[in-house]
Amino acid sequence: MEAVAEELRQIAPAKLAVENVSKRFHTGQGITHALDEVSLQITEGEFVCLVGPSGCGKSTLLNIIAGLEEPDSGQVLSDGKPISEPGRDRMMMFQESALFPWLDVLGNVMFGLRLKPNLNDKERREVARFYLKLVGLEKSTRSNIHELSGGMKQRVALARALAPNPRVLLMDEPFAALDAMTREQLYGDIQTIWQARKKTILFVTHNVREAACLGDRVVLFSPHPGRIREEFRIDLPRPRDINSVELAGYSSAITRALKNYVSEEVAE
């Protein structure tokens, strides 16, 4: 089964293709080699999680794919076209919700729909309400942002990212600042939404169990410089329970591999 799945993935056209991407940053302490010859292919509708320690270049790669950073060498292709700037086909969701405090919940989601100039105000309102219902906030449309819990704010941010109907959703540790119970609720929500909408999702996290719970594939990075070292395909049915025994087996194997790669880097 694993061999067949891998063969199908290779045949399927890449939604995103990262080709030999390298990136260095010049700082007061010298040059930081963030990414070194990173290559990765992600197919349409795939949920891929990037995992690794701080400084391994995961977020840098996400920023390059979003068009917020430029690689020093190599390129990223979206549907075969080189990415050189932000685009409506790719939406980014950050660790902080970055909502506008002067707008209510509905207004925040409608703001994201300004990227859709073909919609009038009534249509934007209808679309915003649809996505707020999708994330379970249909009764909070007129709430002020300061009235929301951390989990609710991230739901609003998710609705705002989904509303323009991007083809790729980029998520940079969106649940890291939340408590364990809220995270578990959102794990179920994001899986349900992904199964319903079939978006291509690239998700950055430090949390190995989170990655195994959410991803079709988990891609391991090691630092100094940031490189892809190994991939794990998570062959478990959805929705997945982060506390399940089956998931624990995958997360243990991923953690062992990650520790080995980090140990190798330290030894060098």
**Are residues 174 and 101 both part of a single domain?**
no
**Are residues 128 and 181 both part of a single domain?**
no
Q: What's the domain range around 224? A: 2-89+168-267
> Residue 41: its pLDDT value, please?
95
Show the DSSP H helices in the chain as ranges: 2-11, 58-66, 105-112, 121-134, 150-162, 180-197, 208-214, 245-267
Q: Which of 22-26, 235-239, 262-266 has the lowest mean pLDDT?
A: 262-266
Taking each helix axis from N to C terminus, what angle separates 150-162 and 121-134, rounded to the nearest 10 degrees?
130
- Is 60 exceeded by the pLDDT of residue 8? no
Split at pLDDT 50, 70, 90, the class of 27 is confident
pLDDT tens-digit profile of 125-168? Answer: 999 999 999 888 999 999 999 999 988 998 999 999 988 888 99
User: Among positive and negative, which fits the CA dihedral 99, 142, 149, 123?
Assistant: negative
pLDDT tens-digit profile of 85-111? Answer: 998 889 999 888 889 999 999 999 998
Single out the residue of 267, 50, 113 nearest to residue 60, CA to CA.
50
**Are residues 81 and 192 both part of a single domain?**
yes
**Are residues 84 and 177 both part of a single domain?**
yes
- List the beta bridge partners of residue 168: 90, 200
- Is 90 exceeded by the pLDDT of residue 268? no
pTM: 0.88
CB 65 within 8 A of CB 83: yes
**Are residues 137 and 211 both part of a single domain?**
no
CB 43 within 8 A of CB 12: yes
**Are residues 60 and 36 both part of a single domain?**
yes
The overall average pLDDT reported for the chain is 88
- Three-state SS at 194: helix
Split at pLDDT 50, 70, 90, the class of 267 is low
- Is 50 exceeded by the pLDDT of residue 170? yes
